[in-house]
Amino acid sequence: MNGDDISEHNLVVKNLIKKYDDKYVVKNVCFKSKKNECLVILGSNGAGKTTIFKTLTGEVSPNSGDV
């Protein structure tokens, strides 16, 4: 992530990785969101969108990265 001050962001995801067996379903995802911003994750089927949201809510644990 760039040198932005992350203290002004309510949500910061840095280098999120989730693997099932030996297959990456989410690899090195980074984004940040400020208060009152709308977060939208776009991608084709199987791109890892649901896994990202499950990781954000704590339903699944990441293999690596910070949320």
Report the 3 state secondary structure along the chain.
Answer: CCCCCHHHCCEEEEEEEEEECCEEEEEEEEEEECCCCCCCCCCCCCCCHHHHHHHHHCCCCCCEEEC
To which residue do tokens 């940040």 refer? 32
Is residue 15, in this structure, part of any structural domain at all?
yes
Is residue 1, in this structure, part of any structural domain at all?
no
Strand order in the sheet with 11-20: 23-33, 11-20, 64-66
pLDDT of residue 54: 95
Q: Give pLDDT tens digits for 5-63.
A: 667 889 999 999 999 999 999 999 999 999 889 989 999 998 999 999 999 999 999 99
Range of 45's domain? 6-66
pTM check: above 0.85: no
Number of domains in the chain: 1
